[in-house]
Amino acid sequence: MFDLIVKLLVGLVVFVTGMNFMSKGLKACAGGSIRRLFKKIKDNRIASASIGAGTTAIVQSSGATTVMVVGFLGTGAFTFTQGFSVMLGAHLGTTITGILVSLSGFSFSIYLMSLAFIGFILGFFKSENVRSVGEILVGFGILFFGLEAMKATFQDEEISKNIVSFLKTVDFPLLLMVFGALLTCLTQSSSATNGIVIVMVAQNPKLIDSGFYLVLGATIGAMMPAFLASLKSNILAKRVTYSMILVRILGAFVMTLIVWAISGPLFDWIGEIVENKVINVGMLLALFTVIYNVIFILICMPLITPIEGIANRMFKDKESIKKKQSLHYIDDNLLNTPSLAVVQVRKEIENMFNLAKTNMLLGLDAIVNVDLSNSKDIEAREEEIDYINTAISDYLIKLSAKATLADEMKIGSYYHVINDIERIGDHAYNFLNGARAMSREDLHFSDIAKSEFESFKLVLEQMFDIAGNIFKDQNKKDLDKLHELEEQTDNLKEELGNNHFNRIRKNECNNELSPFHSNLLTRLERVADHLTNIGYSIVNPTGDEVKKTNVAVTEA
């Protein structure tokens, strides 16, 4: 028994490995086209569902497709209708795996296994496309080898007897549905669950009734990858994912009740056609998953708008019910002691400065690597920076009426500083918007360009440290170093711009990147200007007038 269980588990591992190989090869061949297609679809429900089905059929994983959808929802690239429709189609696309699995019941499956060797040979070719095709064939062959291993296990009389005994013990449709859902959650793959069930039923036709309920449960468990991905995403992604889970549970429950209600005549009919060899029982179960998902899509399509309305009411956006924003170090009670209030204002500005620095680094990383994972944090921090800027400005107006002449000089410099910090925050937010635009157009900087931007980033990090220390300690000893680094950024802007256009002339870079590359360099250079202004503003309340004039003219 132990040997047989090990063989069954190894067969499952080989099967899943084959699916992964196929998925990897297919993504390499069509991944770029899929991403571009995803970004072009509008609120056309049929088109969205079709793309979801097609994508899943290609990548052989509804989990991969739904996780991709959660990613698009998180960045605001998808609406509720688009996301929900694509997810609907994804579960139809995954049924292709069941059809493939059912082919293992035919005598020609040995020829399908032989494709693995052909794919292995193709792996030695230099062409990347040929190697990708080879990977698809290897995966296809391995998949069927894993199925044969599982089939051999289910053919064993002792294993078959124990499985029948277990399923008869839990011979209650709803329990079987729950078991199918849990098994899919554990394997993170409805394809794996359906594969096991179809092979099991093919070897034990009398388990066909249990098979129906198990595969219905798998349609619920298939949402586990999307659920996990949505936990760290925005409210829209959560609404679409949770709505799909609830609708999937309702659909599987209703279909289970229907099958249960007509189980007598239904399974008598199935027994007859299987006995007459009209259709392979494994193929019959695979076709059931297709028909169920088609019916499910047809019912849900016209209901997406009301589903969205219900989701909006059920899943409230807690983030939209914002906490009252407040300052950390100052309040009106301190206005009666102006000298202390000035000290506390400086602490508040230091906090604002650190927020802007964090956002600038995250925003730069977002556009350089086209990584939108921190979008939510950047947006929230930008709102906080704007709030602090307005609040400190208002506070300084009140404070200036009570301050001494010496404190008034500091207050004047603080106006300059918070203005420069706020502008740094705006540039950081612009970086995020640039990253979103590049993501929509499927554009990415080359590794060389990324390396060059990293060198620019290192200089800016030094400038942040120096400017922050000058502001905190009121010491101008590092002002020359700050100015020297600012001149270095001017040179870097020119050098990196020339390098980019040289790469374009040599066809080493995509010309479509030029606006993004140029805009990024310009804004990085402006951030350096603002940091220099902060240094001059605190040492000399009139600020670095020449640099401020240049920045103002450039930004105007």
Predicted confidence (pLDDT) per residue in 511-530, tens digit: 888 999 999 999 999 999 99
Please give the average per-residue pLDDT across 82-91, as a whole number: 86
Please give the average per-residue pLDDT across 473-489, as a whole number: 85
Please, which pLDDT band fits residue 322 given cuts at 50, 70 and 90? very low
Please give the average per-residue pLDDT across 476-480, as a whole number: 82
Whether residues 310 and 339 share a domain: the answer is no
CA 268 to CA 270: how far, in whole Å?
5
Whether residues 285 and 351 share a domain: the answer is no
Whether residues 511 and 387 share a domain: the answer is yes
Whether residues 244 and 356 share a domain: the answer is no
CB 470 within 8 A of CB 478: yes
Domain end, chosen from 264, 287, 315, is at 315
Domain end, chosen from 315, 343, 363, is at 315
Whether residues 154 and 36 share a domain: the answer is yes
pLDDT of 113 reads 73
pLDDT-above-70 percentage for the chain: 76
| Residue 317 pLDDT greater than 70, yes or no | no
pLDDT of 27 reads 59
Whether residues 351 and 309 share a domain: the answer is no
Please give the average per-residue pLDDT across 164-193, as a whole number: 76
CA 150 to CA 199: how far, in whole Å?
7
The CATH number that applies at residue 498 is: 1.20.58.220
| CA-based nearest residue to 148, from 278, 10, 280, 281 | 10
| Host domain of residue 286 | 2-315
Say how far residue 7 (Cα) sits from the centre of its chain.
Answer: 36
Please, which pLDDT band fits residue 368 given cuts at 50, 70 and 90? very high
Strands (E), 304-439: none
Whether residues 498 and 525 share a domain: the answer is yes
| Residue 551 pLDDT greater than 50, yes or no | no
Whether residues 527 and 441 share a domain: the answer is yes
Whether residues 262 and 379 share a domain: the answer is no
Please give the average per-residue pLDDT across 88-94, as a whole number: 82
CB 395 within 8 A of CB 415: no
pLDDT of 29 reads 56
Please give the average per-residue pLDDT across 246-265, as a whole number: 88
pLDDT of 4 reads 65
Residue with tokens 């350089």: 368
Instruction: Quickly count: other Cβ atoms within 10 Å of residue 292's Cβ.
Output: 21
508 or 364, greater pLDDT: 364
Helices and strands, counts by H and E, the chain: 24, 0
The answer to whether residue 383 is domain-embedded is: yes
Please give the average per-residue pLDDT across 363-380, as a whole number: 90
Please give the average per-residue pLDDT across 471-493, as a whole number: 86
pLDDT of 498 reads 92
The answer to whether residue 524 is domain-embedded is: yes
pLDDT of 462 reads 93
The answer to whether residue 400 is domain-embedded is: yes
pLDDT-above-90 percentage for the chain: 21
The answer to whether residue 321 is domain-embedded is: no
| Residue 477 pLDDT greater than 60, yes or no | yes
Please, which pLDDT band fits residue 420 given cuts at 50, 70 and 90? very high
Which of 34-43, 149-158, 449-458 is the least confident region?
Answer: 34-43
Please, which pLDDT band fits residue 358 given cuts at 50, 70 and 90? very high
Please, which pLDDT band fits residue 547 given cuts at 50, 70 and 90? very low
Whether residues 294 and 344 share a domain: the answer is no
pLDDT of 130 reads 81
Please give the average per-residue pLDDT across 181-209, as a whole number: 76
Please give the average per-residue pLDDT across 291-312, as a whole number: 89
Domain end, chosen from 260, 283, 315, is at 315
pLDDT of 10 reads 78
Please give the average per-residue pLDDT across 259-281, as a whole number: 73
Please, which pLDDT band fits residue 266 given cuts at 50, 70 and 90? confident
| CA-based nearest residue to 185, from 230, 232, 146, 219 | 219
pLDDT of 452 reads 92
CB 467 within 8 A of CB 398: no
| Residue 261 pLDDT greater than 50, yes or no | yes
Q: What is the mean pLDDT of the chain?
A: 79
The answer to whether residue 436 is domain-embedded is: yes
Please give the average per-residue pLDDT across 30-50, as a whole number: 64
The answer to whether residue 326 is domain-embedded is: no
Residue with tokens 């007859």: 272
Q: Give the range with max mean pLDDT: 126-130, 190-194, 198-202, 343-347.
A: 343-347
Please, which pLDDT band fits residue 223 given cuts at 50, 70 and 90? confident
Please give the average per-residue pLDDT across 146-169, as a whole number: 64
Alpha helices in 103-172 (DSSP H): 109-113, 115-122, 128-155, 157-169
pLDDT of 225 reads 77
Please, which pLDDT band fits residue 320 given cuts at 50, 70 and 90? very low
Whether residues 296 and 378 share a domain: the answer is no
pLDDT of 488 reads 93
Please, which pLDDT band fits residue 323 given cuts at 50, 70 and 90? very low
| Residue 278 pLDDT greater than 90, yes or no | no
The answer to whether residue 322 is domain-embedded is: no
| Residue 54 pLDDT greater than 50, yes or no | yes
Please, which pLDDT band fits residue 23 given cuts at 50, 70 and 90? low
3-state secondary structure 202-232: HHCHHHHHHHHHHHHHHHHHCCHHHHHHHCC
Whether residues 391 and 472 share a domain: the answer is yes
Which of 57-66, 69-78, 147-156, 436-445 is the least confident region?
Answer: 147-156
CA 306 to CA 283: how far, in whole Å?
36
pLDDT of 207 reads 76
The answer to whether residue 366 is domain-embedded is: yes
Please tell me the total count of domains within the chain: 2
Please, which pLDDT band fits residue 429 given cuts at 50, 70 and 90? very high
